[in-house]
Structure 1
Amino acid sequence: MRTHVALVLGLTLLAPASGNAQDAAAGEKVFLQCRACHQVGPNAKNGVGPVLNGLFGRHSGSVAGFTYTDANKNSGLTWDEATFREYIKDPKAKIPGTKMVYPGLKDEKRVSDLIAYLHTFDNAPVPH
């Protein structure tokens, strides 16, 4: 009985707080505003913006078939969660000269949820 209680208590302490957990389903709703320019999924194609499949770990300005600004191609960024967080809050501040016209997403929870959603496409095909 003591082992069971200790196990339950230990798992409860290790579980992330629900207020801080990333929520991919909520992130899908956040992505609705991104869909005007970006696509994700197995049949995604470049549009006004590049495909966002496999975003994390990719170098900025590297999706084949998308015409990036020199600022984006030469930014030297590799997309990880921290870089994406900074970028999505104010794209033009993070990459001056980018053609991304977006005022920014400032709400940390919504950014976290969006990141969780984008991670569901980490292994989806990216144009080469």
Structure 2
Amino acid sequence: MKRLAFCAAALVIACQSTAFGQDAEAGKRIFARCSPCHAVGPNAPNKVGPELNGLFGRKAGSVPGYAYSPANLQSGITWTEEEFTAYIKDPKGVIKGTKMSFAGVKNEQEVKDLVAFLKAFDADGQPK
């Protein structure tokens, strides 16, 4: 009986860590919503929005060759998971005057997965 209870508890924990953790592969599917405007990976170009390689730890408005809005340039943001999470949920609410017209990703798990996907790329677009 103890063995059965232990196995059941282990199964619950395993399912929770998958359900509530970060899943880069799922994040890749979420990024498909972003890809019309943003790119990641080797030789990723700026599009309607800047490329997102090495996003975390980077200062907002700092990708060479991209014409940022004054609001983004003056935001003072250095992208952390927390900053990005708030921003991707409500871009215009976090940086008033941003040119990003995306309504945001509202689902917590989708945001976590998107973060995991973006964290998988270094500043040169190489997989970490």
The answer, yes or no, to whether TM exceeds 0.5 is yes
Residue of structure 2 in register with 1:108 after alignment: 108
Residue of structure 2 in register with 1:67 after alignment: 67
Map of 1:89-108 to 2, 5 A cutoff?
A: 89-108=89-108
Residue of structure 1 in register with 2:4 after alignment: none
Structure 1 residue 66 displacement after superposition: 0.0
Q: Could you list the runs of 5+ residues in structure 2 that have no partner in the other structure?
A: 1-6
Residue of structure 1 in register with 2:56 after alignment: 56
Question: Structure 1 length as normaliser, TM-score?
Answer: 0.84
Distance, in Å, in 2 between the alignment partners of 1:35 and 1:53 is 13
Identity of aligned residues (%): 53
Q: Which amino acid aligns with 2:62?
A: S
Structure 1 residue 104 displacement after superposition: 0.8
Structure 1 residue 17 displacement after superposition: 1.7
Residue of structure 1 in register with 2:44 after alignment: 44
Distance, in Å, in 2 between the alignment partners of 1:64 and 1:124 is 12
Residue of structure 1 in register with 2:124 after alignment: 125
Structure 1 residue 42 displacement after superposition: 0.6
Question: Structure 2 length as normaliser, TM-score?
Answer: 0.84
Query: Quick check: which one's helix share is greater?
Result: 2
Map of 1:30-41 to 2, 5 A cutoff?
A: 30-41=30-41
- Whether the aligned pair in 1 keeps the contact of 2:44 and 2:51 (CA below 8 Å) is yes
Q: Which amino acid aligns with 2:116?
A: A
Distance, in Å, in 1 between the alignment partners of 2:85 and 2:72 is 16
Query: Is it true that 1:88 corresponds to 2:95 in the alignment?
Result: no
Distance, in Å, in 2 between the alignment partners of 1:124 and 1:117 is 14
Structure 1 residue 124 displacement after superposition: 3.9
Give the secondary-structure state (helix, strand or coil) at the position aligned to 1:19. Answer: helix
Residue of structure 2 in register with 1:18 after alignment: 18
- Whether the aligned pair in 2 keeps the contact of 1:56 and 1:79 (CA below 8 Å) is yes
Distance, in Å, in 2 between the alignment partners of 1:88 and 1:124 is 20
Structure 1 residue 64 displacement after superposition: 0.4
Structure 1 residue 20 displacement after superposition: 1.1
Q: Which amino acid aligns with 1:74?
A: Q
The alignment covers a number of residue pairs equal to: 117
Aligned structure 1 segments of 4 or more residues deviating by more than 3 angstroms? none
